[in-house]
Amino acid sequence: MRLPSPSVRLNETVRVGVWSSLLTPAVRLVFPGALLGLLLLWVACGLAVHAGETGTPTPGAPQITRQPLSQTLVYGSPLTLSVTATGELPLSYQWQKNGTPIDGATGSQLTFTNVSAAIWGDYVVTVTNSFGSVTSDIATLILPVPPQITQQPYNHVETVSATAVLYVLATGTPPLFYQWYQGTNQLAGATNQELDLIYVTSADGGVYTVVVTNQAGSLTSRPASLRVNPDSLRQLRLMGLSAGTNGQVVAPVQVAAVGGEHSLSFSLQYDPNVITNPVATLTLDAANTNWVTGSSGDTNAPLSATLVTDTSALASGAVGVSVSLPTNATFKAGVVPIVSVAFDVIAGQDAALAALLLGDLPTAIAALDTTTNGPLPLQVFVLPTLAPSPAATNASLQSGLFSQKVRVTNPAGTLADLRLLVRGLTNDSLGIAMLVYNAAGFTNGIPYVQFGPMTPGSSVDLTLNYYVADRVTVPNVTYEAQLLPFTAVTIPTNNPINLDRALFTNGVFAVEFNTLLNASYYIQYQDILGGTDWQSVVPGVAGTGSRVQWIDDGPPKTLSVPSSQTNRFYRVFRYP
């Protein structure tokens, strides 16, 4: 509010009405005319600044209303430090670097047209007028940190049709860029933190490296070898249950063939109180010459496969299946879908609880060839079942994230590592992409979380957290499981930091610590004090330059929810 400036005589009494949000209700003040000028100054300063009051600015003295900000250098780009100040005009400026005045830097902005490493350091600006001066906070121009590889890719020995995952963990000023090589050959599209080689063949064998690059430089990883054994173990793969037609569920069965197999047999075991009436159908089409070949070598000749089912054990929840090719015909090497078995779901039952397994009764698991007709080595592979809970319709008040749990059940065999792919994420109502907040990584652009190991028959609830900018749009996703060989995780442990606050609430543990910009933080935990079996959490936490909170809400971050343990201990390491 601006007060009128009436003409008064010295020592004349005037009445001035002052209406301000600081004076409620409005009051009328009476001042001698000689003090009117001081009153106007007092009101103009917002009824808050009094000349001579200890710890407050002198009226008219410069004040900084927007401080210059610290920034990370981007080589070759322009950069500007700026300050905003108020006070009696004229205002003058003098910038300093590391305490030394910079010649010619006398404006409210300090601009560098072509950034180089020479300009890094601490900068302040002093603003001066006839009433005094004020110096800004320090703004640090930070050198970008070149890439550092904290986990090198591992050597692999795989068999034909297996999956090999090469992974690198690196830090440095973002963004980081990745490029994988096989020998000296640059691999097209291999520009992620990991390289997934699905259904490897002998051609995939060799030495692999990855080059990690940012604006500060590049670094090549240690070479990792991949050896593909030509004498592969074949696999019989039960691919879980999926929705069929007319309310049925379908169990696809595949074989990862080495080549030379003539017939395959197995049994499907299930809970007859959940699913019933199994009907097997060949998915190996008679005309599908991509998968089989005759003895004549004529791959275009149509071949008729034979399907036989044994229904003698339906009452106990088992059906036998045998698939045979014509005489002298064999499977080609590769993954072959051979049979799908459809089931009716009993009313009121959840098909995910059908406990579907590969077994030997009434028909034994076996693979035969055309020469000896004897049993061939055959490995059983059972895909875990997935049972998502209903998705949350509101974001959490504590974290601001949407959450959904997915129950994973391992029906048979020890599962080394499970990767749960999240498909179908779109944009929210603001057009901003929804994200898997606790993603461990991406494969071909698809985010995933990872968990393992799992023992046969065990189940675990994996929590998926989603960041949605508008806090309204509910993620609508589908999940896909992939099984992987175990990959050891090594994190740098030479720079521990202090954890200054931990909070256990609502069954989860929140751990807080201060971070540095561009640093990475790695968390380990164990449930026995003084033990040596520290478990590492992947991925790490990116430093923001401020305080962060990391929440342990159980799998997939950790192997179990904190509330299921008597104790849980944490430690954090910084790199670099």
The first and second tokens of residue 539, run together, are 């991925």
pLDDT tier at 44 (50, 70, 90 boundaries)? very low
Q: What local confidence, expressed as pLDDT, does residue 438 receive?
A: 87
**pLDDT tens sequence across 145-183:** 889 888 888 877 777 777 788 989 898 888 899 999 999
Average pLDDT of the residues in 99-107? 95
What is the torsional sign of CA 347, 353, 357, 362? negative
**pLDDT tens sequence across 122-153:** 999 999 999 999 999 999 998 888 898 888 88
Distance CA 357, CA 354 (A): 9
Q: What local confidence, expressed as pLDDT, does residue 1 receive?
A: 35
What is the torsional sign of CA 215, 489, 456, 159? positive
Would residue 118 be called left, alpha or beta, if left means φ above 0 and alpha means ψ between -120 and 50 degrees?
alpha
Average pLDDT of the residues in 228-255? 82
pLDDT-wise least confident of 52-56, 94-98, 485-489: 52-56
Average pLDDT of the residues in 409-432? 86
Nearest to 406 by CA among 396, 418, 394, 393: 418
pLDDT, averaged across the chain:
81
Strand runs (DSSP E) across 346-438, as ranges?
357-359, 366-369, 378-382, 385-388, 402-409, 417-423, 435-436
Strand runs (DSSP E) across 40-91, as ranges?
63-66, 71-72, 79-82, 84-86
Q: What local confidence, expressed as pLDDT, does residue 294 receive?
A: 56
Domains 63-142 and 234-376 share a fold: yes
Average pLDDT of the residues in 208-229? 88
Q: What percent of the chain has pLDDT over 70?
A: 83
Q: What local confidence, expressed as pLDDT, does residue 302 receive?
A: 43
- Is the pLDDT at 193 greater than 80? The verdict is yes
Query: Right CATH number for 496-575 from 3.40.190, 2.60.40, 1.20.272, 3.40.1350?
Result: 2.60.40
- CATH code of the region 148-229: 2.60.40.10
Query: Right CATH number for 234-376 from 3.40.50.12280, 3.40.50.300, 2.60.40.680, 2.40.30.10?
Result: 2.60.40.680
pLDDT-wise least confident of 65-69, 197-201, 211-215, 476-480: 197-201
- Is the pLDDT at 289 greater than 80? The verdict is no
- CATH code of the region 385-483: 2.60.40
CB atoms within 10 A of CB 396: 12
Query: Right CATH number for 63-142 from 2.60.40.10, 1.10.3720.10, 3.40.50.970, 3.40.50.300?
Result: 2.60.40.10
Residue 211 CB partners (closer than 8 Å, separation 6+):
178, 179, 181, 218, 219, 220, 221
Which is higher by pLDDT, 558 or 299?
Answer: 558
Domain boundaries, the chain: 1-59, 63-142, 148-229, 234-376, 385-483, 496-575
- Is the pLDDT at 22 greater than 50? The verdict is no
What's the helix, strand, coil split of the chain in %, to 5?
Answer: 5, 45, 50
- Is the pLDDT at 7 greater than 70? The verdict is no
Q: What local confidence, expressed as pLDDT, does residue 240 receive?
A: 78
Q: What local confidence, expressed as pLDDT, does residue 219 receive?
A: 92
The DSSP bridge pattern shows strands 71-72 and 139-142 to be parallel
- Is the pLDDT at 15 greater than 70? The verdict is no
Distance CA 392, CA 265 (A): 43
Which is higher by pLDDT, 45 or 190?
Answer: 190
Average pLDDT of the residues in 7-11? 37
**pLDDT tens sequence across 65-85:** 999 999 888 888 899 999 999
Q: Residue 523: how many CA atoms within 13 Å on its side-chain side?
A: 24
